[in-house]
Amino acid sequence: MYYQFCNKSGGLAKIMAETNTGEGRGMSSNEEILALFENWYALEMPRLYRYVMYRVRDQAAAEELTAAICEEALRYLHRYEPQRGGMSGWMYGIARNTLKEFFRAKVRRPASVPLDSLHNLRAPGHSPEHAVELIEVFRQAVRSLRRLPDQEQEVVALRYGAELSNQEIAELMGLNPNHVGVLLHRALKKLRQAMQTEERA
């Protein structure tokens, strides 16, 4: 799994290894940092994509943004220090900033694809009948997310898209975990109300 982005001659890992001077106790080598990133990517990219999809609800945009976030992370990989925190937190910090720029650049420019086109939905571990029911409600929920304030949308996306814990979300958003719990509870309640409103409409 390691060095999957590197070419056969060693690519970045080799170059990084050659420049690893061992300076600075506790600092990880370049090779280790790249390996950490690759490992994170291999395991966590689908969650990152899911988080982005929750936020933009547009497949083409979500794909482009996920790619941009990974490339941005690669570009700034030299800043990452594992001693100071996990890679997930670092990656989602980059993701949040990338999304902010995206939304501001896109301000008041509507999505080019109807929200109904949410593809590739799976409900693993459920019977086919139950999965169909879950997916149907899920589509309605994601469609109604737009009715929620930004902060609540963000909490929902980080909790269910990125599958982060309340503690991790709290660190990312500069809140305390209890506040995250309250926000999440309130968001789900509002989301349900929004779904009922749209159903009635």
Residues 159-178 that bind other proteins (CB under 8 A): 159-161, 168, 171-174
Q: Residues 74 to 93: which contact other proteins by CB under 8 A?
A: 74-75, 77-81, 84-86, 89-90, 92-93
Asked if residues 31 and 13 have their Cβ atoms less than 8 Å apart, the reply is: yes
- Quote the Cα angle for 99-187-108, to 5°: 40
DSSP per residue over 4-31, as a string?
TTS-TT-HHHHHHHHH----STTPPPHH
Site for other proteins in 14-53 (CB under 8 A): 15-16, 19, 21, 23-24, 27, 30, 33-34, 41, 45-46, 49-50, 53
Closest CA to 40 of 78, 92, 116: 92
- If one asks whether residue 11 binds other proteins (CB under 8 A), the answer comes out as yes
CB of 53 to other proteins, least distance (A): 5
Residue 181 is a binding residue for other proteins (CB under 8 A): no
Compute the least distance from the CB of residue 124 to other proteins, in Å: 7
Decide: 169 and 161 in contact? Cβ < 8 Å: no
- Decide: is 155 part of the binding site for other proteins (CB under 8 A): no
The token pair at 190 is 């509002």
